[in-house]
Amino acid sequence: MASKIRDIKLMLNEINQEANGLGLVSRLVMAAALPAAVGDTRSRQTDSVVAPMIERDNDKSKIVEMLLSPSKKVVSILPITGMGGLGKTTLAKSIYNDKQINAHFKKKIWDDSQALWDDLFTTLKGLNPTDGSWCLVTTRLNQVADTVSKVLRMDDECYSLGKLPDDHCWSILKEKVVVGEEDPDELKAIKERVIKRCDGLPLAASIIGGLFCLKGKEEWQPILENKLLSLSADGECVMQILKLSFDYLPSPYIKKCFAYCSIFSKDSEIERNMLIELWMAEGFLQADINSQMMMEELE
């Protein structure tokens, strides 16, 4: 189907060239409406679907062991704290879906809705005295962890998630760039500076690796020197790298596809084929004449 559409588009291009040669001028130009991306300052929604977890096996084992250990409390709280980009939610998902956890706990609830938190706390405080229930919380702020413990009148300690060692960050980045191959000289030349930019954050390593994967080897050093090294080293570093990866997407049409999703309300369920049809209706899916590939073929 994609090849047929490509042939039709090529034929239409030829007709358009012939029309231009005859001096015919289009009287109507349809400009695709691109919705402006609005920054969302509300809390981030998550789900319990397990995602690939890299280099956190030790942390996972420790927390699972804690959750499976005997407890005389009705409800015990274990907040996982740490800055953004450390992989707190990914770690929590992996623990939530762990086979040992599934076998040990008869019921589990994944709750990230602020509206449900009050009801959840009320329920937890009113539980029958059955020992061994746990509440696993992820947050960037220690104040949030303290508040949760105080509301439930618990004195449990936090599990502070630390940054990854440099070699772990390098492993994540390389897996994105070379996928099991030998490190190219261009990557070795910037290794130390790239690792420093990752700052022990697995998300930053993954994003930078994905960015390099989209670009040629000759572009890696200019991107590092002109863009990555100029980013601030504060808590907004990950968001800046995410924005940079968006800026370097290989096609303006792909950028429009991503930006278009901002018109949907938060936590909306979007049907895949419907979204593709909406992109097509807006004119965002275009043929790459150079590679003779349709965007639909890249799925």
What pLDDT digit, counting tens, does each position of 45-86 carry?
A: 555 554 556 678 899 999 999 888 877 777 788 889 888 888
Spell out the residues 6+ positions from residue 296 whose beta carbon is closer than 8 angstroms to its own: 1, 2, 5, 276, 285
For residue 100, the model assigns a pLDDT of: 93
Spell out the residues 6+ positions from residue 200 whose beta carbon is closer than 8 angstroms to its own: 162, 163, 164, 165, 166, 169
Compute the C-alpha angle 277/283/289, nearest 5°.
Answer: 110
Residues in the chain: 299
The most confident of 49-58, 109-118, 134-143, by mean pLDDT: 134-143
Cβ distance 63 to 80 under 8 Å? yes
* 76 DSSP assignment: E
What pLDDT digit, counting tens, does each position of 159-188 carry?
A: 899 999 999 999 888 888 887 678 888 888
3-class secondary-structure state, position 75: strand
CA separation for the pair 137, 34 (Å, rounded): 37
For residue 206, the model assigns a pLDDT of: 87
Cβ distance 139 to 46 under 8 Å? no
This model's pTM is above 0.75: no
3-class secondary-structure state, position 221: helix
Which residue ranges make up each domain of the chain?
57-160, 166-248, 251-299
Can you spell out the DSSP letters for 136-181? EEEES-HHHHHHHHHHTT--PPPEEPPPPPHHHHHHHHHHHHTTTS
CA separation for the pair 112, 94 (Å, rounded): 16
3-class secondary-structure state, position 56: coil
| pLDDT of 217 strictly over 80 | yes
